[in-house]
Structure 1
Amino acid sequence: MHTTLNVDEAEQLARKRAGAKLGWITHATVYLLVNALVLLTGWSGHHGHGFPILGWGLALLIHGAVVFLAAPGDALHDRLLQRERARLQGRLDPW
């Protein structure tokens, strides 16, 4: 079912979706930086880093699926916000 949103509803939804996507990008960046540091410095001992990296990676994958698949300030946030506005106004193909 497709409903038409008024301008205020579309703006609010676009902001929410752009914020969620920016949150995932932040999560992915922290994941990469922390795990690179763990692997490069050997903080975790001989082979103790595998399970936390895999577990956190699975959480990141689920987070990404929720943000990018479940839901039809800075320059990145502004670009994401613009894309969501265009999508919600029917000017952009969702795929």
Structure 2
Amino acid sequence: MEYQEDKYARARARVAALRKFYGKLGSFLLFGIIFLGFNYYSNGLRYPWFLWIIGFWGLGIVIEAFKLFGTDLFLGRNWEQRKIREQMEKENRNSQNWF
């Protein structure tokens, strides 16, 4: 029974971390638009100072994403096996179409 409780605690922590990350991402997008508006109305984007804020904040978001998702975000742990399986299934479908 303890094993099930550990799994539940880990899953709950993961969901809490995801919720926190998506909140940060939403704030990033909202404030990015607000800073763009302030920059546009203050100097007409002659000097886009908001890009500095968005750039560094975006870097922080990317670092958080890598901490949360790891390399699963792009290629994943089982990416190679999954792609091999997909190619084999594709070959099987193509060979069945010839007969």
Q: TM class, shorter-chain normalised?
A: 0.5 to 0.7
Superposed CA RMSD in Å reads 2.6
Distance in 1 (CA, whole Å) between partners of 2:8 and 2:48 is 48
- Highest CA radius of gyration, 1 or 2? 2
- Which of 27, 32, 53 lines up with 1:30 in the alignment? 27
Which structure would you say has the larger RCO, counting Cα contacts within 8 Å and 6 or more residues apart? 1
Give % identity: 22
Aligned length: 69
User: Does residue 6 in structure 1 map to residue 3 in structure 2?
Assistant: yes
Q: Are the counterparts in 2 of residues 38 and 49 from structure 1 also a CA contact under 8 Å?
A: yes
TM-score by length of 1: 0.62
TM-score by length of 2: 0.60
User: Which residue matches 1:17?
Assistant: 14
Q: Following superposition of structure 1 onto structure 2, how do residues 63-82 of structure 1 map, counting pairs within 5 Å?
A: 63-69=64-70
SS at match of 1:25: helix
Unaligned runs of 5+ in 1: 72-93
As a proportion of its length, which structure holds more helix?
Answer: 2
Unaligned runs of 5+ in 2: 73-77, 80-99
Distance in 2 (CA, whole Å) between partners of 1:59 and 1:48 is 18
